[in-house]
Structure 1
């Protein structure tokens, strides 16, 4: 039998070892600061990418509006004496099925009519607005003023609104659709 103050055989003997204190400066130096630096680097990389993407989108939007405006003028303007050359140059701004359809229309209808009736057309874009734009595809809405003169007759003005779809082909914006609205 155990007396007072003596440990009994039934009770396990407990020894308390003193744990070494946590070195918070080491935790801070080897875990928290590197993790914080990694998070800051990731955030900086993300924001750099986001700003770059926004810049690319703004550039595509502005460039597609400029190109669509220039292309509309080229497609809708010609002189009777140089209609072949004018419309051939305009064809180089097109792509896909629209290029084929435009080529057929100009060769069968526009060029013979312009030569026979001495038709001259001049177009000017009064306003343009991007509808949508990505790095490879854009849609632009154009407000055009086209003046057509047949022979010695009085000029006739029309103001079509045209929806132009562009495709970026090898770094160059080309018209893939050209639809009056």
Structure 2
């Protein structure tokens, strides 16, 4: 080879840049393929997470809807610890204005049991659970009245605890 036909420094720089670009593109493509092929799991995919929110909704529903004339204030206070946001405000007001006076005056006892519950939606910090409720209400000496209903319970995770933020009869 003569000095004029040998590749110069510009040619070697170009080859080096193209080689580095090709290697970078291959590595980036491999990394993207790995990342995009990972299984993304949602909290709803975990049985334990679903059970946790159903239990929280079930427990809260029973506490919200069950009371006796003798323990109505204590029952309300216990239920309040499971609530949050606007629903908490509504519940406190409704219990103080309507339920507590009626329970005492008319000797109302209400017992709720959740027959079944299922997750409608579940995320990291919010969930929606549909619960089916059987409720028995007795007022004074009248015979008990039974009712069945369904409630959509909206939950929010606050400081690691699921709290009821919505309680919508269906």
When normalised by structure 2's length, the TM-score is 0.76
Cα drift, residue 66 of structure 1:
1.1
Q: Which residue of 2 aligns with 1:76?
A: 65
- Structure with higher Rg: it is 1
RMSD in angstroms over aligned alpha carbons?
3.0
Q: Which residue of 1 aligns with 2:121?
A: 132
Cα drift, residue 46 of structure 1:
6.1
Q: Which residue of 2 aligns with 1:93?
A: 82
The answer to whether 1:63 aligns with 2:46 is no
2: distance between equivalents of 1:105 and 1:47?
49
When normalised by structure 1's length, the TM-score is 0.72
Q: What 5-or-longer segments of structure 1 have no aligned partner?
A: 1-14, 16-30
Contact kept, 8 Å, 2:110 with 2:138, in 1: the verdict is yes
Q: Which residue of 2 aligns with 1:43?
A: 34
Q: Which residue of 2 aligns with 1:173?
A: 162
1: distance between equivalents of 2:122 and 2:62?
21
Q: Residues 91-126 of structure 1: CA distance to partner in whole angstroms, max 9, x if unpaired?
A: 110000000000000001000110111110000001
Q: What 5-or-longer segments of structure 2 have no aligned partner?
A: 6-22
